[in-house]
Amino acid sequence: MERAKHLLQTEGVIAAVEALVAVCRDPKAPAPAKSTAGTSILRAGGFFDQKNAEPDKDLSQMSMQELRDFTNRIETEKQAALKALDGGNQDDVFG
């Protein structure tokens, strides 16, 4: 059981992500399939998590450190998204 679980959490996850990306990249894939695959990719990447939501405070009410932390978090998320999208070539994934 442990071996199966490990296989699912490693190779299974990679295969699932590759399949979703392949659907997004397939120019013949129907729009609903691309939309569903894209949503699944974003959800798996944590883009819909509450922790990634807009800040509780208005930016004008944040301290300098809070602004730095917020900016750093957004930059980190951007870099991770670009890396996940094959070097940032977003047109390939959704075009």
Domain boundaries, the chain: 2-94
How far apart (Å, rounded) are the C-alpha atoms in residues 68 and 58? 14
Q: What is the pLDDT of residue 1?
A: 92
pLDDT tens for residues 8-60?
889 988 999 999 999 999 999 998 898 888 888 888 887 777 665 566 778 88
pLDDT tens for residues 55-86?
677 888 889 998 898 888 888 877 777 776 65
Q: Is 35 exposed, middle or buried (0-12, 13-18, 19+ CB in 10 A)?
A: middle
Q: What is the pLDDT of residue 15?
A: 92
How far apart (Å, rounded) are the C-alpha atoms in residues 29 and 80? 25
pTM of the model: 0.51
